[in-house]
Amino acid sequence: MKPKNIKYNDLLIDLYASAYARAAEPAAHDLKRKHGAPLYRDLEVSLENCYYGGTFDVTITRRVMLVDGTSTTPQKVVPITIERGCLPVIRDLEHPRFRRENVDLIYKATISLEEELTGTKLYIQHLDGRQLEVPINEIVASGLKQRIPNEGMPSTSNPGAYGDLIIGFSF
């Protein structure tokens, strides 16, 4: 049974090149290049786009050596589909209000000592545009957190489920 996600030609070329490094390296390198090395690119996606999902165009460039010894850098626009709530292998852009931890959204609230002692309401604009009203009726200490169920990111492993919104307090 073959393991998944292995390109056997590349594996053989790597083995051949390492076994006969000095003599075979240029030939093995040329063979591998013809097959095309995998492209790894950082893709920055906003937290809102991770929340809703969608298809985004990404421009990929790759330096290609020509037969005459010169090089060119062609560009190709590739659509990338991100499922809603995904935990992508891409980096979320920094968000001004939230931070992400898996499917949970982290929000840092700053309240005054008076609000801490007498109670208050936090108004938080969610990623989906809703205005959440969160009553703070108990005395909260700096560093404590309040968890609001089902107000985080959509879950990819459990359709219809959401992570939590976790509010951290500072004064």
Domains in the chain: ranges and CATH = 8-37 (no CATH), 96-170 (2.60.260.20)
Q: pLDDT at position 115, please?
A: 86
What lies within 8 Å, CB to CB, of 42 at 6+ separation is: 90, 91
Higher pLDDT, 167 or 118: 167
Q: Which of 24, 14, 88 is nearest to 50 (CA)?
A: 88
How is the chain split among helix, strand and coil, in percent rounded to 5? 25, 35, 45
The pLDDT-based confidence of 99 (bands split at 50, 70, 90) is very high
Q: What is the pLDDT of residues 6-21, one digit of tens each?
A: 444 444 444 444 444 4
Q: CA–CA distance from 18 to each of 6, 26, 36 (Å)?
A: 18, 12, 19
Residues 23-46: pLDDT tens digits? 444 444 444 433 344 455 667 778
- Please give the Cα distance from 169 to 109 (Å, whole number): 5
pLDDT band at 124 (very low <50, low <70, confident <90, very high): very high
Which SS3 state, helix, strand or coil, does residue 69 take?
A: coil
* Among 57, 62, 55, residue whose Cα is nearest residue 40: 62
31 vs 155: which has the higher pLDDT:
155
- DSSP reduced 3-state for 52: helix
